[in-house]
Structure formats: structure tokens, C-alpha cells
Chains A and B, each alone.
Chain A
Amino acid sequence: MNVNVSLSNGEKNYIIDGVQDGMRADGRGHFDYRPIFIESGVLATTDGSARIRIGTTDVLVGIKAELATVENTQEAVNRIKFFVDFSANATPQFEGRGGESYALEIANTLYEAYNNDNVLPDLSKLILSKTHMWVLYADIVLLQYGGNIMDAASLGVRTALADTKLVNVVVRPADEGKLMVDLPDERKLWSLDVSKVPLVVEASKIGDVSVVDATIIEENCATSSLFVGIMPPECDYNPSAPSVSDDDCVLTLVRKSKGGSLELESIEEMINTGVRAARELNKALIKRLNEEVMEPYKPTIHRSQTFLH
């Protein structure tokens, strides 16, 4: 996505030459991320929420579970519904429907990354009866645009899903042979298993190298970019599992974004970059979340703030 930024040719050359020499404008290397802030449990009106800041990019994610009555839950599509909104607060260009096409790209990409039966094994628990099911909505609002929306959104969705608490319901018979959903006497909450949730990163091609976490200016200098989504291998969150190399990682998404054309070698290099970055990001996230003191669920808002490197 290209937010309107005025860059002269001299500036563009400076950025591209710097990146090719391994030094980005803010001193980072190709695989370095800007400081990442993660907060979870920030919205009272949602079942799960998170706020992610990467550099100046600020993303708010809310997960809502709604009870749906369908003809036949076996035939219904059982996937998370993603909705992304680019707020006009990020840049006036997004006023009204200005950001709609960019937002749709993010939403559809996330949908594709999550569109298989392996990433969220608990999806089957969402089916309550032949006609009732929970539908999960992941709503993402972009509050500030600093480049690299995809990584922030994907981190946000993962954190918000981990924060999501769904209430246990019972299915009772109702009139005319139908069924109804009711709350049991003992109220219990359950969480989703998010260990296999995909992390999507954007690898941008600047000059002839690929970088991750492009700033808004670097995005304007990139020829093209690739969204790479991996399903984290078990060894990254379970030390006793057999180790898996980057080459044996399972991808759930590979999608080219922006204009420009890429050669096969570039695509391979960008995929490797993406996989490596996504794995490191996931490992850092898990390590940091494990270091946090796990507090029992409170009815009020529970805030936890984590730094990633």
C-alpha cells in the first residue's frame, strides 16, 4: 500500500543505496524490527482485544463472538471473519472510503492465512449444535500509519485471540423440535489454543535486497513486496519437540502485494526472509508472554504490556 509521501529522487536513491549496503535510514539491519509494544485486554466491549505498536504504526484489534443460527452447521463456513478499517486519524487520505481498498487487502490476506483447519484446532468447538455456532469476528482498526501494517495486524490478531474468553453454553430442546442455546448454572469460560496461529510478515524488496518491517518511507522505495504467513512449528513453543529448520516450515500464505515484478530468485529469497522473520517474531513473543506473570481472569479490564526486544 502506498500512502502519499513526497519523496524526491535523491531521497529515494539514498534510502535504496543505504539498504543495499546493509544500513537502513534508522540504523537497522535487514531483519531488525522497530520497538514493538503489545497490550492485551484493552477493550471492555469485546471478548478479546489487543493493541500493537510497531514504531509509529498503531493497531487496535477486537475479537467478538456472536451466536449464529444457520441451516446446517456442517455446511457452514467455519472461519474467522476479518474486518479491517483504516481510520482517518492515520492519514486524511483514509477519510470516508479512502482506505477501503488497502483495508480489504489486509483483511483478505489474513483470511487466507487462517483459511485451513490446522491453525486453530479449537474451531471445531465453535459448532454448538446442528443449527447453532459461534462466529468469530476479528476487527482491526488502524489508528496510526507508520508502515508494516500487516505484521502489526497479524500480531494483534494472535494476541487478541489468546486474550479471548468464550462462555460455555448448553444446548437445550425448544419448541417445534428445534434447539436453543442457554447459559448453564455454572458459568465457565474457555480460551482458544493459539499455539499454531499463523504469523504473517511482509518482506519488501528495496533495490536487490529484501527487508522486513519497512517504514512508510521505505515502503515508497520498495519495488514490490511479499506477504508470507507461517504456521509456527511445534519446536518454537514446545522445547521438547523435534527441531524444524526454516526450510521445513509450513506456510499458510504466500501472496504478492503492490505492483512491480519479481524474479523467481527474488521470491525465494523473500520467502526465506519472511519465514526467518516470522519465526523469530513468534519465538520472541512467546518468550515474552511466558515471562509475564499470569494473572487469573478478572471481570475488569486486565492490562499487560510487553516489549519485544
Chain B
Amino acid sequence: MINEEQCVVNCQYSMATFSVPDRRNKPRGDRRGNEFTRLLERAFESAILVKNYPRSQIDIFCEVLEADGGNLAACVNAASLALADAGIPMRGLVTAVECGSVTGEACADLSSREHSDIVSRLTVATVGGKDEICMLDLKNIIHKDHVPQLIKMAMDANAQIHSCLESAVLIHMKKCYALSKRC
């Protein structure tokens, strides 16, 4: 039952056909793309202050132009910046990273050459660079004992990415503020 009073967060994850070395036939509509779309929606629904926008829809469209691993994470980071640019209030900037491990040794930010069926990959998104996880997606299988280390690696990476995005937003904001001050 759709509650009409609520705000709807509508996302789309799309990959250009030339974004991968082996050409794709369709940019979107495939199972994995739809999966990523839903994950993005859930992640931002929890971060955006949706109570401010009843009976409204927020569209977030992501277009991957060149894919080299960590696509979903890159989309989350880009969407956070876009939402900040749009002036939509959030509880914090949402950052994400894709971490993986083969033998339990965790690695942050895998490239596409590091992707394979034996590498377990975890995409983790956190709000405000802190300990609150708003998105978690595992690809391939992983031993239960390896999970905590992987998540810890992802949280540390997210904290760093967050400070990076935060300073970018502040610089952008200062530029815009300087412009409006002049007018």
C-alpha cells in the first residue's frame, strides 16, 4: 500500500553500452541493474530527510560512463554530491566503497581486473562517515569469519572517502556563497 503522504525516492542505475571492455547490449533493465537501483533507493531513503518532502518524488539517475569496478559505490558517492548540490537535506553525506577478500586478507576499492568468481566483494555504504551502515551488498560467497574484517576495512575506507567528499562540498559551497555575496 503506497502511503501518498510520503516522499518517494526514485533511482535509476544505468551503464552505457561502451562503459565496459566487452560491449553491453542494453544500458539498463537487466537483473543486476535493477538490483542496484533498489539498493540505491533504500540507501538514500534512510539518509535523506524525507519528512521535509511529503507527496513529492526525488529522482536520482546514475549513468556509468566508464566502469572499472566499484560501480555501485561510485554511484552512491556521486549521488551524495548531486544531492548536496541540489540542496536536499540529508542526515549526512552517504559514502560507499567496494571491498573484497580472497583468503581473508581484505582489500579496499577493487578494480574490475580484480573481479572474479572467487573474490568475495562487499559494497558498504555509511552515513556521515560514521558507524551507521545504510547499504550492504555481497557478491559471491564468503566465510563467516572473514566478514568482520571486511566490514571494518569498508568503514575505515568510508571515513576517508567521507572527509574527501565533505571538503569538496565545502569548497563548492564557498564558491557559490562568494558568487551570491557579490550579487
Contact = CB atoms under 8 A, between A and B. Distances in A.
B61 A87 contact: yes
Query: Among B10, B17, B21, which residue has the most Cβ atoms of chain A within 10 A?
Result: B17
A95 B63 CA distance: 11
Contacts of B38: none
B63 A89 contact: yes
Contact of B14 (A49, A87, A92): A87
Nearest to B66: A45
Nearest to B61: A88
A131 to B, nearest CB: 21
A163 interface: no
Interface string B1-19: 0000000001010101111
B144 interface: no
Contacts of A66: 23
A62 interface: yes
Contacts of A169: none
Contacts of A134: none
A223 to B, nearest CB: 32
Given A45-B67, A141-B63, A88 B23 contact: no
Contacts of B66: 43-45
Contacts, number: 57
Interface in A153-196: none
Interface residues of A toward B: which range?
Answer: 20 to 34
A62 B59 CA distance: 27
A95 B61 contact: yes
B69 interface: no
Contacts of A139: 16-18, 23
Given A43-B65, A89-B63, A143-B63, A62 B14 contact: no
A60 B23 contact: no
Given A60-B65, A85-B27, A141-B63, A45 B21 contact: yes
Contacts of A49: 18
Contacts of A46: 18
A159 B18 CA distance: 16
A84 B40 CA distance: 25
A254 B37 CA distance: 40
A95 B16 CA distance: 14
Given A43-B66, A137-B23, A141-B63, A64 B18 contact: yes
A49 B21 CA distance: 13
Interface in A49-98: 49, 60, 62, 64, 66, 83, 85, 87-89, 92, 95-97
Nearest to A135: B23
A141 B65 contact: yes
A152 B59 CA distance: 26
B20 interface: yes
Interface in B31-78: 59, 61, 63, 65-67
Interface string B67-101: 10000000000000000000000000000000000
B28 interface: yes
B29 interface: yes
Nearest to A61: B18
Query: Among A44, A49, A64, which residue has the most Cβ atoms of chain B within 10 A?
Result: A64
Contacts of A143: 63
Interface of B: 10, 12, 14, 16-21, 23, 27-29, 59, 61, 63, 65-67
20 contacts: A44-B66, A45-B18, A45-B66, A45-B67, A62-B16, A62-B17, A66-B23, A83-B17, A85-B17, A87-B63, A88-B14, A89-B63, A92-B61, A95-B10, A95-B12, A96-B28, A139-B18, A139-B23, A141-B27, A141-B65
Interface of A: 43-46, 49, 60, 62, 64, 66, 83, 85, 87-89, 92, 95-97, 137, 139, 141, 143
Closest 10 CB pairs of A and B: A62-B18, A88-B61, A139-B17, A139-B18, A87-B63, A46-B18, A64-B23, A141-B16, A85-B27, A89-B61
